[in-house]
Amino acid sequence: MHGQDFQRHEQQFARRIRQISGSKENVRTKGNALIKMFNDPLCPQPINVAIFVKKVVSYFEVDQPSKVTYACGHVIVFVASQVPYAMDLLLAELHRVCIYTVPKHIDYSKSAFKSKEDYYKMIGYREENGKIERTEDYLKRLACYMKLYAALVQTEADGVKNPHGLKEGWAWLARFLNALPANVYTAVALEVFLQVAGFALFRKYRSQFRKILKVISGNFLVALKAQGEKVKEPKLKQVIGNIQYYVEKNEFLQEPEGWRMQGSLLSGSMAPELDYPDSYHHPSNYSGSYHYSSYY
């Protein structure tokens, strides 16, 4: 395949991804079209899958409508059911561009980094014309990547097994609370994950999910508020409010906008519990080491 042909081939992948919308028929049609492109004899399948992965992740580095993000989760799961290593490559690319999808956080230290700029680049900030991007822009992109990841892990489709489904989403949440510190980066990642995947996680894990919300409210948010007192970061204050509202108003009981596709592929519903504790225990500090292995 020559240069111009390869470029047109890439553009075809990008166009297919942009055409994904929130309906069962669209998901099936676009999924089949992508599988057909994977098997194009003019280009080896591993290269085609790599192009698909790059185009998906780049498409979702800007905020897309929720119905598109949820639908893309279904397309990815369908594609991976036919070409399993597509999921591995997609996760690897997501982890590369956003360490919080691992989840992972890197602390800054003068001994480990030559400069603050080197540290920022290590955790995913972009450099353009010799200047590091604004934190505001980095956080927006972080939120977009987390939205795609959270939509993917909560995807349940009839007749198709998600190799990185709710079990992995639950494990992500447990590892996050066990290992990551409370700061503006982790707070944004957690807020998006709960908003996108919390409804499906509650349907699956019920009382265990309520318990993990207690830890978020009583440990993570307490530490986040303490940091907010030291660092006057407007975004941090906003995210604290959003997470607190999510927990206190039981937003995980509400089906997210765009979650249910037309002619839904999502598996059978489960009636949510209506009772919920009125108060939470608030420990005096949070070290990011609350052990949660007993819940998955």
- Among 286, 190, 201, 181, which residue's Cα sits nearest to residue 243? 190
Give tens-digit pLDDT for 13-40.
999 999 999 999 999 999 999 999 999 9
Residue ranges of the domains in the chain?
A: 3-295
Q: How far is CA 51 from CA 7, 9, 45, 110, 190, in A?
A: 11, 9, 10, 38, 29
Q: What percent of the chain has pLDDT over 70?
A: 89
Cα–Cα distance between 137 and 126 in angstroms, integer?
A: 9
Alpha-carbon distances of 3 from 46, 58, 104, 218, rounded to whole Å: 18, 21, 37, 56
Closest CA to 176 of 296, 294, 290, 295: 290
Q: What is the pLDDT of residues 38-95, one digit of tens each?
A: 999 999 999 999 999 999 999 999 999 999 999 999 999 999 999 999 999 999 999 9
pLDDT of residue 265: 53
Local structure of 218: helix, strand or coil: helix
Q: Which CATH architecture has domain 3-295?
A: Alpha Horseshoe (1.25)
Tens-digit pLDDT profile for residues 153-162: 999 988 899 9
**pLDDT tens sequence across 187-227:** 999 999 999 999 999 999 999 999 999 999 999 999 999 99
Confidence bin at 179 (pLDDT 50/70/90) = very high
Residues 6+ apart with CB under 8 A from 2: none
- What's the pTM value of the predicted model, to 2 decimals? 0.90
Q: Which residues, 6+ apart, have CB-to-CB distance to 257 below 8 Å?
A: 66, 67
What pLDDT is stored for residue 234 in this prediction? 85
* CA 68 from centroid of its chain's CA atoms: 14
